Structure 1
Amino acid sequence: MLAYERTGSGEPLLLIHGIAHRRQAWAGVVERLADEFEVITVDLPGHGESPAFDLAGRTVREAVAAELHALRTELGVEQPHVAGNSLGGLLALEMGDAGHARTVTALSPAGFWMNGVDYLYVRGLFAGIQAVARPLAPVAGTLLKSQVARAITMGCFFAHPERIDPVVAAADTANMVASREGIKTFFSGVYRYPGPTQTEVPTTIAWASRDLTLLPYQAKVAAQRLPHANHRRLAGCGHVPMNDDPDLVAEVIRETARKQPGSQRVA
């Protein structure tokens, strides 16, 4: 079973992190939403405290969908609101297509690169970061106390790496190293988002304006493939916007949740 945390009360909200990250990426957003939602954060297979990825003869896409379905079954949550970042955004969109989400909020989602060069750039970026993270991990607790060091090592993910708690930065670095096999497995099964199979689930795609991982022009591809969705720009945010501006991310999720059919939420 995937590792998870369950906080707050209200309608269920599932938060899914991106590749090489962990459920704690959502900490600031959880603080802002736990009074309104029952918030569930999860570690993807091979990440954080979740067990290693076991494909068991399945594709990566099939395996991770099955793991998320098993988690919902275990928790008794049939149709949560779902928000995801990067790979998590892609998974959130697919949960909406499968009828497993009330609403979907995708933050700089994966699966919208224009060509092979885009994909090679992302894969090379992660390979380079992992190459730096492995020797850095043993001294990260000391080195990442420096704002300059955090800017150099984490600037590709965050617009404001100086805002990251050094303890969190060191733990994220250790997680990236420990998750290398899970990262490798996800990249082995990479695919583009094929387009929605239905358009009735309220959906927001919000792209970070300072995204250096999945470059912001990919938002145009997303707008073409999902013309029914609400498309937003996350001003001043990097690829992982939950740390750069948790207030903004929380509000985007709230706004999307209010659009569910029959919602009584007051704007």
Structure 2
Amino acid sequence: MAQREPIHAGTGEPVLLLHPFLCSQNVWNTVADDLAATGRFEVYAPTMLGHHGGRPSPSWLLHTAMLVDDIEQRMDELGWQTAHIVGNSLGGWAAFELERRGRARTLTAIAPAGGWPHHSLSKYETVLKFVLGGPALIAARLVGPRILTWPFVRRLATLPVSGPADGPPEAELRALVEDATHCRAYLQLLVKTLHLPGLLELAGLGAPTQLVLCEKDRVFPTPRGNRYFLQHLPDSAEVVRLPGVGHIPMLEAPDQISALIADFIDRHSDSRADPGQATG
């Protein structure tokens, strides 16, 4: 598939939205529209390196720094020195790394990945979950999204992403399957996760930060899946717990996620804005 044009809409405070592993910018469609419609935010959501519709990886040894380099380049092209950065799962990991590079006005991490030291049961458990899902991805690649009509397949497909059994709307679930089965970075990022540590030096965060935890998250289940963040984030970080939603809450509760992001930015935008900075 050809590269997608990133979602880019609205005017106002710059907001960067980063998607999860195996997904694309499509998971942000509704939230991006909601934020742009307020008239207060300029929203930008790209598809990351190696993912379906994103730029190709410059190397087989793809790692987080390369993802972040690409996102920084995109920010530079927009004239954004900083932005309010929102990331889900892998996008949350990238968001923390962007904050470390001084690119974040605020940081919203939704069920972020990277919450482990170099060697931890949580890391190996996460990699194992994705490895065990490999045969299902191969089957879905061969059959296509119509595999969701097979008995029990829809429920298996919604388990990793959704809290409720019925999962996200049909069109969005089909888009997820299409993105996951065409993600060129699948093996690259799993290998990277195995041989590199997760997020370090979290206590040194300078930007206002909120950690969003999802009650029905089956990728990073509570408590073991987010204990590392709760132990290492600075005391100033806010923790928001969302009941009833799964790992990608933008698909099942977009209004709630849009409001959560907008409220946090509104509370911190005046103190973090760069005077005279171009935002588009």
Determine if the TM-score, normalized by the shorter chain, exceeds 0.5.
yes
Partner of 1:230: 238
Matching residue of 1:250: 258
Query: Which residue matches 1:131?
Result: 135
Q: Any idea what SS the aligned residue of 1:221 has?
A: helix
Q: Post-superposition shift, 1:129?
A: 2.1
Which of 144, 148, 162 is the aligned partner of 2:148?
A: 144
SS in structure 2 at match of 1:103: strand
One-letter amino acid matched to 2:244: G
Change (3 A) 1:62 1:145: same
Identity of aligned residues (%): 23
Moved more, 113-122 or 24-33: 113-122
Aligned match of 2:58: 54
Please report how far the alpha carbon of residue 209 of structure 1 lies from its aligned counterpart in structure 2 after TM superposition: 0.8
**Contact preservation (8 Å) 1:130, 1:177:** no
1:5-26 Cα deviation digits (max 9, x unpaired): 2012211100000111110011
Structure 2 partner of 1:93? 96
Aligned residues: 263
Structure 1 residues 199 and 143, CA, compared in 2 at 3 Å: closer, same or farther?
closer
The residue number in structure 2 matching 1:187 is 190
1:59-74 paired onto structure 2 within 5 Å: 60-74=63-77
Counterpart secondary structure, 1:104:
strand
Q: Deviations over 1:228-261 (max 9, x none)?
A: 2101111111111111211221122122212326
Native 8 Å contact 1:147 1:162 kept in 2: no
Runs of 4+ deviating beyond 4 Å = 145-148
For the Cα contact (< 8 Å) 1:108–1:206, is it kept in 2? yes
Q: Which of 32, 47, 51 is equivalent to 1:30?
A: 32
TM-score relative to the length of structure 1: 0.88
Cα distance in structure 2, aligned partners of 1:240 and 1:206:
11
AA matched with 2:11: S
> Match of 1:203, as an amino acid?
T
Q: Could you tell me which amino acid in structure 2 is paired with residue 216 of structure 1? A: T
Cα gap change, 1:110 to 1:24, in 2 (>3 Å): same
Deviation track 1:118-151 (CA, whole Å, cap 9, x = no partner) reads 2222112112223102212344433425795322
Q: State yes or no: 1:110 paired with 2:113.
A: yes
> Is structure 2 residue 222 aligned with structure 1 residue 216?
yes
The residue that corresponds to 2:8 in the other structure is 6
Q: Summarize deviations over 1:184-226 as a string: whole Å, max 9, x none.
A: 2222222311023744311000111111001221333212211
**TM-score scaled by length of structure 2:** 0.85
What one-letter code is carried by the residue in structure 2 that aligns with 1:245? A
Deviation at 1:2, TM superposition (A): 8.2
Question: In 2 relative to 1, CA 34–148 (structure 1 residues): closer, same or farther, beyond 3 Å?
Answer: farther
Alignment correspondent of 1:77: 80
Q: Which moved more, 1:167-176 or 1:242-251?
A: 167-176
Q: Cα distance, 1:54 vs. partner?
A: 1.3
Shift of 1:72: 0.6
How far apart are residue 59 of structure 1 and its match?
Answer: 6.7
Structure 1, unmatched stretches of 5+, are: none
C-alpha displacement of 1:262:
2.5
Match of 1:20 in 2: 22
Residues 32, 232 of structure 1: CA spacing in aligned structure 2 closer, same or farther, 3 A cutoff? Answer: same
Moved more, 205-214 or 94-103: 94-103
- Describe the shift of the 1:99–1:178 C-alpha distance in structure 2 as closer, same or farther (beyond 3 A): same
Kindly report the root-mean-square deviation, in angstroms, between the aligned alpha carbons of the 2 structures. 2.5
SS at match of 2:202: coil
Distance 1:140 1:162 in 2: 20
Q: In structure 1, what residue type is equivalent to 2:200?
A: P
